[in-house]
Chains A and B, each alone.
Chain A
Amino acid sequence: MMQGDIQTTRAGLQAVRRKIQIAENGHRLLKLKRDVLILELITIAQRIRRSEQDLGGLLRGARETLSIAKMMEGSLGIVIVSISVEESPEIRAGSRNVMGMQLPVFTANGIRKELSDRGYGLIGTSSVIDEAAEAYEGLTETIVRHAELLAAARILSAEIQRLKRRVNALEFRVIPDLYATRDAIVLRRDEMEREEHSRIFWVKRRKGSFR
């Protein structure tokens, strides 16, 4: 389909050809980017699946250990230990670059602690507290990693959707339109050339009859 503001001149044709070239290059690059991001998303989805399985196991284990700790130390004992924690873990959000996309990277500091850094005294507590603390430290670490994967997957999925729309728009709308425009210009220019040729023919012929 011919675009309204396109001039049927040589310059107009060259401009359309340039646009076609740019659109096709863009289409190829966007498709490449989309494919890479899809591959990355598939990798992340596999990791999420594994991480979910790990989380399930760790959560069950941590709950069981906490139940045992509550049985042995009482919930009051657990409260005492929980208020003993003096340093909270710190989670820093950074990013990594995948095909120009900024995917989140969460760096957790101070989740896994040594026994002497947990804040409760060694002598007044039992080993079940260590076991519960260790189980929940492991669970928290996995939750942070899982959150990073989920956030990356969400961003990637949104970007892939956007890219898909753009690739489809280029593939099924913009590039066919540009080809149609180019063809229309070529046709029009051929037409104009034929008209010009005919006009010149008739002008020459009329000049010849005067002679």
Chain B
Amino acid sequence: MGNEPNLLWQALIVAMLVVGGGFALVGAIGMVRFPDFFMRLHAPTKATTLGVGGVLLASLLLKWTQGSFGMHELLITLFVFVTAPVSASLLAKAALHRRAPSKAPVPPDQPER
């Protein structure tokens, strides 16, 4: 791994990696365990985006301590952050169009349908 960065940078990189991996895992667990599609849509589109952002930030910091600037990481981060809400919105539209079953309760002051 070349020259070792000093301890503060190492701690930052380790924290970013652990947070990133943990959030990605939380998003996947939520996607497996939630009971209906709209809840399942909620879990990975937030948590996994944050997880990928953490991992890419760790890589950016590592490249920075080795004396170069990672343009690719910045590009991937920007791309994922821009495209994740778009694909989530399109998926929600598709599920609404197919009338996917929802387990959310009906709001109380609305007439029953």
Whether both chains belong to one complex is answered with no
